[in-house]
């Protein structure tokens, strides 16, 4: 399968340009803008009178645009179909429209510098000039060539590592830092965007990734991984932050927001001391400015809270009070006098309408602690992690739509609460909110008693297969007769414009079912034939019928709803459209058996049945918040279990149940991780506990740090696991070097599919040899990092050819060495 997805076309970028009404022509320098005087003649935002602006704030806002304008602009630029000027023009229009939207809604503290062409951590790397030497950057303002080479790689060098942003499905580019890294102020993006907003009549709060979180989220450069302390670089990056702060102050900024999300993690005293050191060093530079430190995604531990609230240079503290409700107790226990509390009561991670009455009650209690003039209503985190606007969902079920709030609606909720605190409560708005909550609670479509009973009954067993993995692998090898170092792919093959068109037309009933099936069958046949020509051992059907690895299944399960434009950025230009789980989940009928059986009939080689696992479906959906997440996962697991058993009955001997997002859902606090891993791993085992020993169960994971949960991965009891390895510099292999024994089949990825770069056979062979140094020959599989959906056939064919040839080369060498 493929865990990150989407595409582009020139028509789409043209539509995007027409869709936006605002216009600007920034200069060709990356992150630089031209004079905004002529732009203000086209557009000037009204400055709201002081009495209409309440104490309200948002941590950040989605960048892609309501119709994914930035995505299409980026991909058009990368494909050489549009210019840098075109890309910057679309970007400036998006920023202006977002600032206007927040200003019109009455938000007082509007963020800037939350826009990014790829990723905010990469933007910070650019700001600091921390470019790895392999990109041959020679100084000056960092331009698109260097920036996108770091993000995506190029023909000669690989991209920087990409991994999950905390426990979200957003991916960031991991900085590579070492003792030789030189820091210099190399991107003026934060200052330029502040000036850009100011010229449009909007005062903003520039947002920077804080210096300590930047370092803690980085990785040591190659060669110093075990000896180098990233925090030793603090003194070297602070001077650059001082330069940025000085320029922002000179430009007229009165507030600066530093995002320090690592404060919610379990940090030792040395790491906590780094925050005191960093903000003490910045104290003279921020004099005269208001400084907000923003945290999110969990509660702040007591020792971190004490460190944070003791920082003299800081004016305000932002807390996630949705996922970090325990922080409220810390605030009640003591909050520094005269400081601002930015109370994140509106959920930035989900799409349900807020319980405004409950949030208002929480805010009123906090108001009594910090003071009426020091309380600011905010989102729990950046709204980047939710969909953009319900206005773009005209076909969404009316009842369900009334239960929801996307980013645009959450901005309104923030301001409604701020107005209510100020004595200007909109009674009609609050009444409508209460009615929607009551409707959702009483709706018969939410509850299915039979499903709840079946899920509750699961808790009495651990659902393990009867035979241990070594015995199963022996039985499977007798049936499958695979060579050593068997080759396979992860599931998806390139999704062409024609494929997307036929799916779209079939869904709109513009083509018949017969024509649709004929087209998809032809594509499957093409993919099967290609794999046979390449001599791949275990085949996939390429998933041409699937729009998305979660949405495809959700559309065939009860309890799910779907949006037309509920896109959320996953990384770079890649967006996902999470389904909405609003009720109990069950499987009305088989979902994949027809296509998998068709594909298997085209070849004598094993054909993998491709499913998405219950934990990944959960973590990549907007999940109901009226019952524990594990209960919803157990319901999904039962539905997938039925599908697995139907595939086996249909003659499919290899079934892959992807759990790409299992690690992603791991709670950030160690005290909560064991419980999550227990029910997440159990849910996976439920899906396949009833199959025969000869049926081989695969799973796939990607783009997270897995070493700390390797024992839970082993406990999943899959027969084969394929796992991302190449883009993360083969960090996965280190766990095996440290003595962890793994007896099941394993396929660490041999090349990065999220870069257009094509690896050579020699490079792949070298990777396989590194794996053979720590893994037994009889358990090692050869496969890419992830699915091939986002790549072009011109990249896929040579890369897979090199992969297969590398496996054959190693087989020959191993045979001759006996």
Residue 799 CA to chain centroid, in angstroms?
Answer: 26
Residue 120's nearest CA partner among 194, 264, 217 is: 217
Phi first, then psi, for residue 548 (nearest 5°) are -165, 145
CA atoms within 13 A on the CB side of 580: 23
Which residues of 347-500 form beta strands (DSSP E)? 375-379
Q: Is 754 one of the catalytic residues? A: yes
Alpha carbons 496 and 487: distance in angstroms, whole number: 24
Three-state SS at 135? helix
Buried b (16+ CB within 10 A) or exposed e, 332-351: eeebbeeebbbbbbbbbbbb
As a whole number of angstroms, the distance between CA 798 and CA 760 comes to: 9
Joined together, the tokens standing for residue 628 give 């524990």
Closest CA to 787 of 714, 700, 721, 667: 700
Rounded distance, CA 411 to CA 379, Å?
8
Strand partners, 123: none
CA dihedral in degrees (488, 494, 499, 501; nearest 10)?
A: 150
Query: Three-state SS across 24-57?
Result: CCCCCCCCCCCCCHHHHHHCCCCCCCHHHCCCEE
Report the distance separating Cα 269 and Cα 375, nearest Å: 29
* 643: Cα separation from own chain's centroid: 27
How far apart CA 625 and CA 634 sit, in angstroms, is 15
* Phi and psi at residue 704, to the nearest 5°: -150, 170
Q: What's the half-sphere exposure (Cβ side, CA atoms, 13 Å) at 479? A: 17
Q: Please tell me which residue in 57, 188, 754, 802 is annotated as part of the active site.
A: 754
Q: What is the DSSP letter of 94?
A: H
708 membership: H or E segment, kind and range: none
Task: Return d(Cα 344, Cα 377) in angstroms, integer.
Answer: 7
Whole-angstrom distance, CA of residue 594 vs CA of residue 336 = 63
| 218: its two tokens | 């980085």
* Residues identified as active-site: 754
């Amino acid at each position: 399968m493929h865990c990150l997805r989407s595409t582009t076309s020139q028509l789409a970028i043209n539509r995007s340009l027409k869709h936006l009404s605002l216009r600007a022509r920034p200069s060709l320098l990356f992150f630089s803008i031209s004079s905004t005087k002529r732009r203000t003649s086209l557009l000037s935002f009204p400055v709201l009178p002081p009495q209409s602006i309440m104490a309200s704030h948002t941590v950040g806002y989605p960048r892609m645009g309501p119709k994914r304008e930035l995505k299409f602009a980026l991909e058009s630029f990368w494909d050489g179909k549009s210019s840098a000027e075109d890309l910057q023009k679309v970007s400036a229009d998006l920023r202006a429209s977002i600032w206007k939207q927040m200003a019109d809604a009455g938000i007082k503290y509007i963020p800037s510098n939350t826009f990014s062409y790829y990723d905010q951590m990469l933007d910070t790397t650019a700001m600091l000039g921390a470019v790895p030497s392999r990109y041959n950057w020679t100084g000056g303002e960092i331009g698109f060539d260097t920036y996108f080479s770091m993000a995506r790689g190029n023909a000669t060098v690989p991209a920087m590592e990409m991994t999950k942003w905390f426990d979200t499905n957003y991916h960031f580019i991991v900085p590579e830092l070492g003792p030789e890294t030189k820091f210099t102020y190399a991107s003026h993006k934060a200052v330029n965007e502040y000036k850009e907003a100011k010229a449009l009549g909007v005062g903003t709060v520039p947002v920077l990734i804080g210096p300590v979180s930047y370092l803690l989220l980085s990785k040591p450069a190659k060669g110093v991984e075990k000896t180098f302390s990233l925090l030793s670089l603090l003194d070297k990056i602070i001077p650059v932050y001082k330069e940025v702060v000085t320029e922002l102050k000179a430009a007229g900024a009165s507030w600066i927001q530093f995002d320090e999300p690592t404060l919610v993690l379990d940090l030792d005293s040395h790491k906590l001391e780094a925050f005191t050191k960093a903000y003490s060093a910045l104290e003279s530079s921020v004099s005269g400015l208001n400084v907000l430190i923003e945290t999110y995604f969990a509660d702040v531990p007591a020792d971190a809270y004490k460190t944070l609230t003791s920082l003299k240079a800081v004016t305000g503290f932002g807390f996630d009070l949705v996922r970090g409700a325990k922080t409220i107790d810390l605030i009640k226990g003591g909050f520094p006098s005269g400081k601002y509390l930015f109370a994140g009561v509106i959920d930035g991670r989900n799409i349900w309408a807020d319980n405004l009455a409950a949030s208002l009650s929480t805010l009123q209690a906090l108001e009594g602690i910090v003071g009426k003039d020091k309380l600011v209503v905010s989102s729990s985190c950046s709204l980047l992690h939710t969909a953009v606007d319900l206005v773009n969902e005209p076909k969404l079920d009316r009842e369900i739509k009334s239960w929801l709030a996307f980013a645009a609606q959450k901005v309104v909720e923030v301001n409604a609460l701020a107005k209510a605190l100020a004595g200007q409560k909109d009674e009609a708005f609050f009444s409508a909110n209460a009615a929607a909550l009551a409707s959702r609670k009483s709706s018969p479509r939410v509850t299915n008693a039979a499903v709840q009973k079946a899920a509750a009954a699961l808790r009495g067993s651990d659902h393990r297969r009867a035979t241990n993995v070594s015995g199963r692998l022996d039985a499977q090898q007798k049936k499958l007769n695979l060579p050593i170092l068997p080759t396979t792919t992860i599931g998806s093959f390139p999704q062409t414009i024609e494929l997307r068109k036929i799916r779209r037309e079939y869904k709109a009933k513009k083509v018949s079912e017969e024509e649709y099936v004929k087209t998809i069958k032809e594509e499957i046949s093409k993919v099967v034939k290609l794999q046979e020509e390449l001599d791949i051992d275990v085949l996939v059907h390429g998933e041409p019928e699937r729009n998305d690895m979660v949405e495809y299944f959700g559309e065939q399960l009860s309890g799910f709803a779907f949006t037309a434009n509920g896109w959320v950025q996953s990384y770079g230009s890649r967006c996902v459209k999470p389904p909405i789980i609003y009720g109990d989940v069950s499987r009305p009928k088989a979902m994949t058996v027809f296509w998998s059986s068709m594909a298997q009939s085209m070849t004598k080689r094993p054909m993998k049945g491709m499913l998405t696992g219950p934990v990944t479906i959960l973590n990549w959906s907007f999940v109901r918040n009226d019952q524990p997440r594990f209960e919803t996962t157990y319901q999904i697991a039962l539905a997938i279990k039925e599908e697995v058993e139907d595939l086996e009955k249909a003659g499919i001997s290899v079934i892959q149940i992807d759990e790409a997002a299992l690690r992603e859902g791991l709670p950030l606090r160690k005290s909560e991780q064991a419980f999550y891993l227990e029910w997440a791993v159990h849910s996976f085992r439920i899906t396949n506990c009833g199959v025969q020993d000869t049926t081989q169960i695969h799973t796939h994971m990607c783009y997270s740090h897995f070493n700390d949960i390797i024992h839970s991965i082993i406990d999943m009891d899959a027969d084969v696991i394929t796992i991302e390895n190449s883009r993360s510099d083969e960090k996965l292999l280190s766990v095996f070097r440290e003595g962890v024994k793994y007896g099941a089949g394993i396929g660490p990825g041999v090349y990065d599919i999220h870069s257009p770069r094509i690896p050579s056979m020699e490079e792949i062979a070298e990777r396989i040899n590194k794996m053979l140094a720590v893994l037994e020959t009889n358990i090692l599989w050869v496969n890419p990092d992830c699915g091939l959906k986002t790549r072009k056939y011109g990249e896929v064919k040579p890369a897979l050819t090199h992969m297969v040839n590398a496996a054959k080369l190693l087989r020959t060498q191993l045979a001759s060495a006996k």
